[in-house]
Amino acid sequence: AQKVTQAQTEISVVEKEDVTLDCVYETRDTTYYLFWYKQPPSGELVFLIRRNSFDEQNEISGRYSWNFQKSTSSFNFTITASQVVDSAVYFCALSGNTNAGKSTFGDGTTLTVKP
């Protein structure tokens, strides 16, 4: 069975602070994919990034960066110099090669960035 845990239910920061959203996963698949999605107040979940289990290279995209560590089964997401527009619910998700079309989602972390 697959499981995704986002221990942080809510995080509140002040604009320009850095913030890290934690994600821990469990899977028995040898090949799997990890994702982060952003859900702004409008409701639509927006795909941010995919990481393959065989590629532990960290990634940076502008103010966003992701730290994938298989040894600790974690896929953490850091926003540098946060902005008010970053306020949203962020979901971590996992799919395996045996069911790539079926993702298991974490419960989400609500991030509030105050001006």
Partner 1 sequence: ETGVTQTPRHLVMGMTNKKSLKCEQHLGHNAMYWYKQSAKKPLELMFVYNFKEQTENNSVPSRFSPECPNSSHLFLHLHTLQPEDSALYLCASSQGPGQGRTGELFFGEGSRLTVL
Closer to partner 1 by CB, 49 or 80: give it.
49
Instruction: Mark the segment that binds partner 1 (CB under 8 A) among 18-26, 33-41, 60-68, 74-82.
Output: 33-41
Cα 1 from Cα 105, distance rounded (Å): 13
Interaction between residue 68 and partner 1 (CB under 8 A): no
Among 13, 50, 65, 80, binds partner 1 (CB under 8 A): 50
| E strands in the chain | 3-5, 10-14, 19-21, 24-26, 32-39, 46-52, 59-61, 64-69, 74-79, 88-96, 104-105, 109-114
Interaction between residue 101 and partner 1 (CB under 8 A): yes
Chain centroid to CA 65: 10
Interaction between residue 3 and partner 1 (CB under 8 A): no
CB of 35 to partner 1, least distance (A): 6
Cα 85 from Cα 81, distance rounded (Å): 11
Closer to partner 1 by CB, 82 or 89: give it.
89
Asked if residues 77 and 11 have their Cβ atoms less than 8 Å apart, the reply is no
- Provide the binding-site residues for partner 1, judged by CB under 8 A: 33, 35, 37, 42-47, 50, 52, 91, 93, 95, 100-103, 105-108
